Amino acid sequence: MIEKKIYLEGVDPVKLFGINNSRFDKIKQNFPKLKIVARGSELIIKGENMEIARFDEILNHYIDYLKQTEEPDEEQVEELLMGNGREVLANQTVTGNILLYGDSGKPIRARTVNQKALVKSCEKNDLMFAIGPAGTGKTYTAIALAVRALKHREVKRIILTRPAVEAGERLGFLPGDYKEKLDPYLQPLYDALNDMIPSKKLKGFLEDSTIQIAPIAFMRGRTLDHAFVILDEAQNATVNQLKMFLTRMGKNAKFIVTGDITQIDLPDKRDSGLLRAVDLLKNINGISLVYFDSRDIIRHKLVKYIVEAYGREDAEANNAQKEPKHNK
């Protein structure tokens, strides 16, 4: 057994150890073979050499993470302490890269590799496709970019749209008038806006049509000038709907199309226009494609494993279909 002293430089011990030492307790729980004592800005570690070396590496990743964030995410802290530091740090945004400040003053930023790629892409392109599984922040990041553009007066309005198709349900079976039928389908868009814009101001924007939220059918016949336009859940738009939507693009407009090709809710999945559009438009200058994956998932940590499990099943099913059939 050996003893090692580690001096904590460039990080606030309160931030490192948490309120009432809550994070320090987690550190000790993750290293039961070590005796860890904190004295101000110094740690005294006792244990076997290999275990101390592992602790030292994880602690360095943890400190690097704290230096890059103002408000540590407790799930990410747990991932770091379990030894997943490289992955967390790869997805961590530097402190200064803030898209905007939300309703409560909380900074809203691109947090993962591909969220940052979407932000960078938006600076150079007018049409972007953001494709990937649930929980990766595709829509949230897109809406943050739209709100930022509106606040900076780069556009005059925001238009958010979705196909009115969800999990096989039909609007006609829902109670209420047409708006009441549609609102549940559009609620995720309202939720994101509520995070970013004070409620009274958001209400005013909705009333004067500075921000418009509507199903994709309402886009027909319009020319969308000076607007930031987002089509969400685009995997549920048909080929004709997606073509109609994309050709609404007017002067000084930004379009972002988001979708998850593993969650097509159309009666016939072959009717989805998203893959067709990507295939046709992928080599056109001014159009970019950003593919999100399980590394970008920022919901509960189990969502990542759920998505990966279904992805493996889909891959196995596709491989089985490709295998040649031999006559007996």
**Quick one: three-class SS letters along 22-75?**
HHHHHHHHHCCCCEEEEECCEEEEEECHHHHHHHHHHHHHHHHHHHHCCCCCHH
Q: Report d(CA 8, CA 3) in Å as an integer.
A: 16
69 lies in the same domain as 111: no
133 lies in the same domain as 200: yes
118 lies in the same domain as 81: no
**Structural domains in the chain (count):** 2
Give the pLDDT mean for 191-198.
90
The CATH number covering residue 25 comes to 3.30.1370.10
203 lies in the same domain as 58: no
**Is residue 322 situated within a structural domain?**
no
137 lies in the same domain as 194: yes
85 lies in the same domain as 121: no
166 lies in the same domain as 302: yes
Q: Tell me how crowded residue 302 is: count the other CB atoms within 10 A of its CB.
A: 9
Q: Report d(CA 226, CA 38) in Å as an integer.
A: 57
State residue 205's pLDDT score: 92
Could you tell me if 142 and 230 are in contact, meaning their C-beta atoms sit under 8 angstroms apart?
A: yes
Domain boundary among 67, 90, 113: 90
pLDDT at 85 over 80: no
Q: Provide the domain limits for residue 83.
A: 2-90
Distances, alpha carbon 126 to alpha carbons 257, 264, 286, 287, in Å? 11, 26, 6, 7
Q: Where are the alpha helices (DSSP H) in the chain?
A: 13-17, 22-30, 49-68, 74-81, 85-90, 113-124, 138-151, 178-196, 199-207, 239-246, 274-281, 301-322
- What contacts 326, CB < 8 A, 6 or more positions away? none
pLDDT at 102 over 70: yes
Tokens of residue 141, six digits: 């990041």
pLDDT at 261 over 80: yes
Could you tell me if 52 and 45 are in contact, meaning their C-beta atoms sit under 8 angstroms apart?
A: yes
32 lies in the same domain as 138: no
Domain boundary among 65, 90, 115: 90
For residue range 220-245, list pLDDT tens digits in order: 889 999 999 999 999 999 999 999 99
pTM of the full structure? 0.65
For residue range 270-291, list pLDDT tens digits in order: 889 998 999 999 889 999 999 9
157 lies in the same domain as 302: yes
* Nearest Cα residue to 243 out of 264, 254, 253, 257: 257
Long-range contacts (CB closer than 8 Å, 24 or more residues apart) made by 175-184 = 182/214, 182/215
For residue range 27-59, list pLDDT tens digits in order: 898 899 999 998 877 889 999 999 998 888 888
34 lies in the same domain as 160: no
**Is residue 328 situated within a structural domain?**
no
Give the pLDDT mean for 12-19.
83
More confident residue, 168 or 250: 250
Categorize the per-residue pLDDT at 324 as very low, low, confident or very high, splitting at 50, 70 and 90.
low
State residue 98's pLDDT score: 76
- Cα-based torsion angle of the residue sequence 272, 278, 279, 281 in order, rounded to the nearest 10 degrees: 130
pLDDT at 304 over 70: no
**Is residue 327 situated within a structural domain?**
no
- Distance of alpha carbon 309 from its chain centroid, rounded? 19
Tokens of residue 174, six digits: 């829902």
164 lies in the same domain as 210: yes
**Is residue 82 situated within a structural domain?**
yes
**Is residue 202 situated within a structural domain?**
yes
Give the pLDDT mean for 196-208.
89
For residue range 121-144, list pLDDT tens digits in order: 999 999 999 999 888 899 999 999
Categorize the per-residue pLDDT at 96 as very low, low, confident or very high, splitting at 50, 70 and 90.
very low
Distances, alpha carbon 37 to alpha carbons 96, 99, 161, 187, 282, in Å? 33, 39, 55, 49, 56
Local structure of residue 169 (DSSP, 8 states): B
Length, in residues, of the chain: 328
Categorize the per-residue pLDDT at 165 as very low, low, confident or very high, splitting at 50, 70 and 90.
low
More confident residue, 83 or 114: 114
State residue 309's pLDDT score: 80
Give the pLDDT mean for 188-203.
88
Could you tell me if 155 and 254 are in contact, meaning their C-beta atoms sit under 8 angstroms apart?
A: yes
Q: Report d(CA 130, CA 138) in Å as an integer.
A: 6
- What contacts 112, CB < 8 A, 6 or more positions away? 91, 93, 136, 137, 292, 295, 296, 298
